Amino acid sequence: MDKPKEETSVDQYRTRGAFTLAGVRGDPETQGMEAGFAKAHLALKALDRQREDLEETVQEHVAVIIGLDRSYDRTIRSYELRLLDLVNKKRDDPRYRRYFPEGLRAVTETDERAVQPKLVRGILAALDEDKEKPDFAPLHAEFHAKLLTAVQAVEAADMACTKVEDELAFLVDRKIAEAKTLWLEERTKLHAELTKKFPHDPGRVESYFQRFGRPRKKKAASKPEDGDK
């Protein structure tokens, strides 16, 4: 009986386990011996289904973030256009560079979760500082609340997504890892019990277990020579 490698997928545990359980349970001479392994197998399958559900939930959260970011970027672009009008379209103007030191794309095309909210928070802080200036008072009145609402929505969506991502990581790294270890222990016990029951028939024992590794290719039978009939 071979064993799974560290990188072996849970799908392979599932299919190999199902094979063993059906084989042992279906043999009148071994029926019932699979009970301990069956319990570990079902536990692993249940956790893997949770993994699939959490992975889907993560994608749902990511889709929400992308949608919010799309709207958010439109507000940032609108603000940048108004700022350009203020500085007569001179991007090297200190007033423009205060808000977009590396240009608009450095804000709108950066990581929408890890980087962009921090940059927008910087724009908001600068707007608060400049709100008493005659040129910036109208910009503050028009855009501060919009930008704040947008960044708060993205931050909240990011927090919700991160929570699920953390749950998924814990499930995979701890719970599923532990369940795989138990699965393997119970499978090894079952193999030992079958070996004890059929000590002189190792081929029969191995027939209850499907290999994890690729099966060896059988050598093609050599064709008979013309004289060999």
Is pLDDT at 223 greater than 90 in this prediction?
no
Q: Are 65 and 161 in contact (CB under 8 A)?
A: yes
**By C-alpha distance, which of 57, 100, 54, 97 is closest to 76?**
100
DSSP 217: P
- Range 97-116 average pLDDT: 94
The pair of three-digit structure tokens given for residue 211, joined into one six-digit string: 């290999």
Per-residue pLDDT reduced to its tens digit, 130-177 = 999 999 999 999 999 999 999 999 999 999 999 999 999 999 999 999
Amino acid at 9: S
More confident residue, 229 or 198: 198
Tell me the two tokens of residue 177: 């890892």
> pLDDT band at residue 220, thresholds of 50, 70 and 90?
low
Per residue in 10-68, pLDDT (tens digit) is: 999 999 999 999 999 999 999 999 999 999 999 999 999 999 999 999 999 999 999 99
User: Residue holding tokens 């020579």?
Assistant: 225
Helix ranges, the chain (H): 10-26, 35-86, 94-99, 105-108, 116-130, 137-170, 177-197, 202-207
pLDDT for 6 equals 87
How many other CB atoms sit within 10 Å of the CB of residue 180? 19
82-101 pLDDT tens trace? 999 999 999 999 999 999 99
pLDDT at residue 219, as a whole number? 53
pLDDT at 189 over 90: yes
Tell me how long the chain is: 229
Q: Which residue has the tokens 């929505």?
A: 153
Q: How far is CA 70 from CA 20, 86, 109, in A?
A: 50, 25, 10
pLDDT of 177 reads: 96
pLDDT at 28: 97
CA-CA distances (angstroms) from residue 159 to 125, 135, 147?
22, 36, 18
